[in-house]
Amino acid sequence: MYKFENRPAISAEERARMETKGTADLRGIDTDVVVAVTCHLFGIEQKAFLSRRRWAQEVKARAFFVWTLRAVGEQPISYPAIGRLIERDHSTVMYLHRKAILLRMVDRDFAAICNGLMAAYRKAQAHVCN
């Protein structure tokens, strides 16, 4: 069974606990949608996204996912919270975030995906604010 198939990535109790500990607010971000979009953009299945394999395309997808949750929203989501979403520890998530930043500098395709996401997010944000 896929982790995101029949239940939310973060339970309501976990979300409430994270909010009381000062972790970034997840109410505005639907992590299931971010996972689905990430898997679609990188051409992988959700099962592969959550697997322990370290194939290049899957690592890029995970790095994009981490970068997205850190870059989009009012506040960045904490590394431990992202780690719980993808069943990794916080140090792995920190590595993936650094990898995403590096990939944005050296990989044109990855940078284009990131820039497209940010442009769409800003456009949607401006539309909602007006």
* Residue at 4 is within a domain: no
Q: Which of 15-19, 107-111, 114-118 has the lowest mean pLDDT?
A: 15-19
Instruction: Tell me if 106 is assigned to some domain.
Output: yes
* Domain assignment present for 40: yes
What is the residue-averaged pLDDT of the chain? 82
What pLDDT does residue 14 have? 61
- Which whole number is the average pLDDT over 113-124? 87
Residues 6 or more apart in contact with residue 4 via CB below 8 angstroms: 32, 35, 36, 46
CATH code at 36? 1.10.1750.10
Q: Could you tell me the pLDDT band of residue 112, with boundaries at 50, 70 and 90?
A: very high
Does the residue 121 lie in any domain?
yes
The CA-CA-CA angle for residues 25, 117, 121, to 5°, reads 55
For residue 80, the enclosing domain spans 12-129
pLDDT tens sequence across 80-101: 989 988 889 999 999 999 999 9
Q: How many residues does the chain have?
A: 130
pTM for the full predicted model: 0.76
